[in-house]
Structure 1
Amino acid sequence: MTEVKEYPVAQGLKVKITIEDNPFRIEPDSLFKMAARINKKRSFLFVSPVLGKHLPVNPSVSLLIGRALALVYSGQIEQYQEQIREVLNEPTMRKNFNIEHMKDAVITLDRPITVIGFCETATALGQAFFESFASPARYIHTTRELIDREAILSFEEEHSHATAHRVYAEDPDFFKDDTEVVLVDDEVTTGKTNLNIIRDIIRMFPQKKKFTIVSILDWRSRENQQAFRELEQELGIQINEVSLLKGTVEEIGRIEALKEDSLITDKESAAFMLQKPFKKKLPRLSYSLAPVEVGEKIEIPAYLTATGRFGLAERQYEEEQLIQIGAQLKSLRQEGSALVLGTGEFMYLPMRIASLMGENVLFHTTTRSPILSRNQLNYPIFNKREFPSPEQSGVTNYVYGIPREKGYQDIFVLFERIADRESLSELNRTLKTIQDAEIYFVDLASRAAYRSVIGGIK
């Protein structure tokens, strides 16, 4: 049974959504919000309230979305269908849900699988999907970062603002078997990115014959779907598709007027210093690429193994260390609400740590995506802040939706590594404009946490 809904996007433009498949019977508004953008190809954008990228969310709900996709993929939704529907559709249930309530909902398959998450938005979604399986599985995510080693895959995301994707694997044999490849993304609009990576996988590893596309939203047109069937015939492969919501999209009208009116450009002018709240370092996490240390200073920060950027073959990798980090950061919290910010592609570990920091914690991340911000009722993107990335010199990042006042008592920004201290200062200056919030920066590579304090430079 189809469902048709219309959404206003901006003056003069509406979007008509026709829902064709909804296995959990989730309210569409629970899975996406509509934002406008200035783009010749498409004037609107689906913004996810469950992904933990642009909008704040209970981190356990984001982890649940990965579990829900795994249940649909495996055909095992019946036992958990009602519970997942209630959590996603009911605001109170969504606010109070803890992923530990579904710790027994692990899935056993009769075959191993290889899971790939797409950067930057679906790195955590892909890992949450991977963590749902008790049977043998491997996980890796694509990256836009240039790393000093040979990529085993490279392809283009044609519609993106940063198009080049690469895959680096610690194990050179990561793809050298015939296991099914599961590609996980938050949204499939045309499917061209999936077709591009499948072509590159087949070019490098022709023994791969079975693929599944897993997404929260699948908006491919009939023509786009036919392109998948044609690639199957061309390459002699099988491609399946799984989603939480499948349908089609139609633009009605054109945007008549649009301007960005919720951009925050002011910054705290006072000098600040960073104080360490812990005498001991945070628990040690494993490195995929070891840091280069000069004396006690890390000159070239490390990449962490547990992100999956270089491949994981073990579920709940270093979970005990994450629990300890969550407990230490929880001890810094004041009474009230807290925000945990991940950074760019570094999503899953901060999301999991946030879920271990107690109640009334929300999570989202910084992003490369420049989305139009507006000071308009019910418009999802507002309070846009722009700053250079402390993890990648020369890359502009954004963060959205953090209130100036009466919002969070504590804000924790979690980094895989800090490579540019001056960029960290820029991020600090824009966050210090948030009234009454304590700001903490957590560098997991160097195992240090810092509290931002006005009063000097150290």
Structure 2
Amino acid sequence: MYKEKQLVGIAKRENNTKRKYLVVNRLQGKHIPVRPKEAFQMFSELAAQVREAYAGERLLLVGFAETATAIGAALATELDTLYIQTTREDVSGAEYLYFSESHSHATEQKLVRNELDGRIEAIDRIVFVEDEVTTGNTILKIVNLLAAEYPGKTAFAVASLLNGMQEEALEVYRKRKIPVHYLVKTDHSSYTQAAEGYRGDGKYFAKDERPALVTELRVNGKMDARRCVQAREYRKACGELWTTIKKTDFFVDKKRVLVLGTEEFMYPALYVAERMEEQGIFVRCHSTTRSPIAVSSEEEYPLHGRYELESLYETGRRTFIYELDKYDAVLILTDARDGGRGVDTLVNALKSCGNQEIFLVRWCSHQTHASSHMVCCPRE
């Protein structure tokens, strides 16, 4: 059983008047580096609640981008269900259902509609998976959207690591017959005041766009969870990705390794990191993020160093990585097709912390010219 203080760190959102605080989960592997085993243990406890509640039902789990994509995938693989994540990226050939996350720094969310049209008759319940539910308003938006698109076709439920919903919001869910599952109940009444009390005097590093050399491996066989996948097949594909990485020598004789995911692409990074941890290696895993969060020198504050990056997915979009350190080797895992200056900024941020052996693995869904060997790629 988890306690609030084990999981919850209160941080200050940068230039966001809608919600001034951000709950940073200490074990999730998003903003703070984490042992992959600890992240998966936490996800497994939430999966157990869903398994007990809906034994015998045909489930579709929906993980919310970007922070809950790994949680949703982990639950789906453990429960052997269908899985899809929401996204803010463009998916080739997709038609979308749009909804908004009004408190977020990036408000637009999308769900690929094509993937539901042919499957809805085989789904008894859609379970929305989140890292943290505060008011429940965002999930109600997508529930209302799906209920209108597919009237009477499916039931709904919510599963999150943290739940801060007040009684009035929970009553709305009860009346709508939408069960709510969570590991820890939180009280957000003091979070705004706590966030405003921090100094925000941590270390901020501007993006460095100079061309950077990085050893790159392109691996075919990607499954994209922005489209509906059978979770067991998704995990199998991640296993094949790991098998290819294992054949390289990048982590041989390395005692400390960092595995980094990129934005929405989190689960494969955690999966690979867990496999490395099983090899007896000291491994930490987290990922880049769109979230602009203040950092502070105060010890109790969850984030102390912030590196500004350019997104690997969209030119000109700011992204960030927090709490970097020096490791014997760093593995960046991404499904971004190119990355451009985004790769440069991430590699330069890692090098500024003393990291010298940096490897980029790009998971591709089709054959590429560099798919069968490792190439040293300067970014122009």
TM-score (norm 1): 0.73
Q: Assess if the C-alpha contact under 8 Å between 2:329 and 2:357 holds in 1.
A: yes
Distance 1:332 1:114, change over 3 A: same
Deviation at 1:125, TM superposition (A): 0.3
In the alignment, which residue of structure 2 is the partner of 1:262? 203
1:364 paired residue number: 286
Give secondary structure in 1 for the equivalent of 2:156: strand
Aligned to 1:65: 42
Alpha-carbon displacement from aligned partner over 1:366-393 (angstroms, at most 9, x marks no partner)? 0000011112223211220111112222
1:275 Cα deviation from its structure 2 partner: 4.4
Structure-2 separation of matches of 1:384 and 1:257: 16
Distance 2:329 2:271 in 1: 18
RMSD, aligned CA: 2.6
Cα gap change, 1:450/1:196 in structure 2, threshold over 3 Å: closer, same or farther?
Answer: farther
Relative to 1, partners in 2 of residues 1:413 and 1:314: Cα closer, same or farther, differing over 3 Å?
closer
Corresponding position of 1:401: 323
Q: Distance in 2 between matches of 1:131 and 1:29?
A: 28
Q: Equivalences for 1:341-380 in 2 at 5 Å?
A: 341-357=260-276, 358=279, 359-380=281-302
* Distance of aligned partners of 1:215 and 1:436 in 2 relative to their CA distance in 1, 3 Å threshold: closer
- The answer for the alignment partner of 2:227 in structure 1 is 310
CA distance in 2, matches of 1:457, 1:228: 50
SS class of match (2:178):
strand
1:130 equivalenced with 2:49 (yes/no)? no
Give percent identity, aligned residues only. Answer: 27
Partner amino acid for 1:263?
A: Y
Compared with structure 1, are the counterparts of its residues 416 and 27 closer, same or farther at alpha carbon in structure 2 (3 Å cutoff)?
same
The range that moved more, 250-259 or 437-446, is 250-259
Amino acid paired to 1:114:
L
Q: Is the 8 A contact 2:257 2:282 kept in 1?
A: yes
Note the C-alpha offset of 1:186. 0.2
Q: Evaluate the alpha carbon distance shift between residue 203 and residue 177 of structure 1 in structure 2; reply closer, same or farther with a 3 A threshold.
A: farther
The alignment status of 1:284 with 2:206, answered yes or no, reads: no
Q: CA deviation at 1:326?
A: 4.1
**Equivalent of residue 180 in structure 1, options 125, 133, 141:** 125
Work out whether residues 263 and 373 of structure 1, in 8 Å CA contact, stay in contact via their aligned partners in 2.
yes
1:159-193 C-alpha deviation (Å, 9 max, x unpaired): 11111111114464133445111000000000011
**AA partner of residue 46 (structure 1):** V
* Residue 148 (structure 1) shift: 4.0
Task: Please tell me whether residue 29 in structure 1 is matched to residue 2 in structure 2.
Answer: no
Aligned amino acid, residue 87 of structure 2: T
* CA shift in 2, pair 1:157/1:228, >3 Å: same
Gaps of 5+ in 1: 1-23, 77-107, 233-237, 286-303
Q: Which residue of 1 aligns with 2:24?
A: 47
Is this contact kept in 1: 2:59–2:124, CA < 8 A?
A: yes
- 1:293-335: CA deviation from partner (whole Å, max 9, x where unpaired): xxxxxxxxxxx32x42101124133254133034135643443
Matched length: 365
Instruction: Tell whether the 8 Å contact from 2:63 to 2:73 is kept in structure 1 after alignment.
Output: yes
Contact 1:117 1:125 in 2 (8 A): yes
2:4–2:186 CA contact under 8 A, matched in 1:
no
CA distance in 2, matches of 1:418, 1:247: 39
- The corresponding residue for 1:165 is 109
Matches within 5 A, 1:59-458: 59-75=36-52, 109-134=55-80, 137-168=81-112, 169-170=114-115, 172-230=117-175, 232=176, 238-251=177-190, 253=193, 255=196, 258-265=199-206, 267=208, 272-275=212-215, 284-285=220-221, 304-305=222-223, 307-315=224-232, 316-328=235-247, 331-357=250-276, 358=279, 359-403=281-325, 407-445=326-364, 446=368, 447=371, 449=374
Superimposed CA distance per residue, residues 30-85 of structure 1 (whole angstroms, 9 cap, x where no aligned partner) = 22222223543443321111211100011122222222111012238xxxxxxxxx
Q: Which structure has greater helix proportion? A: 2
Structure label with greater radius of gyration: 1
Q: What is the CA–CA distance in structure 2 between the aligned matches of 1:272 and 1:164, rounded to whole Å? A: 32
- Is this contact kept in 2: 1:336–1:360, CA < 8 A? yes
If the length of structure 2 is used for normalisation, what is the TM-score? 0.87
SS in 2 for 1:435: coil
Residue type at the aligned position of 1:163:
T
Q: Is the 8 A contact 2:46 2:160 kept in 1?
A: yes
Secondary structure class of the residue paired with 1:385: strand
Cα distance in 2 for partners of 1:342, 1:391 equals 13
Alpha carbons of structure 1 residues 449 and 185: separation in structure 2 relative to 1, 3 Å: farther
- Return the letter of the residue paired with 2:72: G
How far apart in 2 are the matches of 1:149 and 1:266? 33
SS in 2 for 1:413: strand
Once residues 243 and 329 of structure 1 are traced to their aligned partners in structure 2, the CA distance between those partners, rounded to angstroms, is 39
Structure 2 residue ranges without an equivalent (≥5): none
Contact 2:258 2:331 in 1 (8 A): yes
Displacement of 1:426 in angstroms is 2.5
Give the direction of change, closer, same or farther, for the CA distance of 1:325–1:117 in structure 2 (3 Å limit): same
The structural deviation recorded for 1:267 is: 4.3
Q: Give the 3-state SS of the residue equivalent to 1:194 in structure 2.
A: helix
Aligned mates of 2:207, 2:117 — CA distance in 1: 47
